Amino acid sequence: MKRNFFNEVEILSRKQITQLQLKRLKDQIDYLSYNSPYYRKIFKGQGIAPDIIRSLHDLNRLPFIHKHMIGKSQAQHPPFGKFLCVPESKIVRFFRTSGTTLKPRNFAYTFHDWWNISVEVMARITYSLGARDRDRVFIAFPYITFVSLWSSHYACEKIGCMVIP
């Protein structure tokens, strides 16, 4: 199946892109406030709501979440911490960081998260780099629970490449 990975967002004006980014940022804050116990607590404590975000410069008002915070939440509430925005029964993919610098962190994906966001974005990136359905791609990594190379594998398949694991 041939697939065109061109996206109408790629031809928007800078003003239209900024408006879209601002809308998506507000939508994401709203979604996290409603669905994530972790973010709901942080946002409430810092007075953050979608209506206080008026421009992309307001990104500076949002708290920075780092791997130590993720690790602490996961240690207190295994295996995913208080970050999940859906019931665990909706999780279809589980990945971990390598644990090179800290204890490995767990990450969960719903079907939509995995196929329509992670794999789709990687397919668009891979396609923009020149990969096409006539190509053969050798995936030179061990098949472990590390997310980036799995999304590359499935992105190449989505494009139609022959994937050689």
> pLDDT at residue 3 above 90?
no
> pLDDT at residue 1 above 70?
no
Q: How many CA atoms lie within 13 A of 20 on its CB side?
A: 10
Give the predicted TM-score (pTM) of the model.
Answer: 0.78
pLDDT in tens, 65-118: 888 999 999 999 999 999 999 999 999 999 988 888 878 899 999 999 999 889
Q: Which of 79, 90, 19, 84 is nearest to 54 (CA)?
A: 19
- The answer to which of 31-45, 117-131, 140-154 has the lowest mean pLDDT is 140-154
d(CA 115, CA 127): 16
d(CA 6, CA 21): 19
Name residue, tokens 């130590």: 68
* Mean of per-residue pLDDT scores for the chain: 89
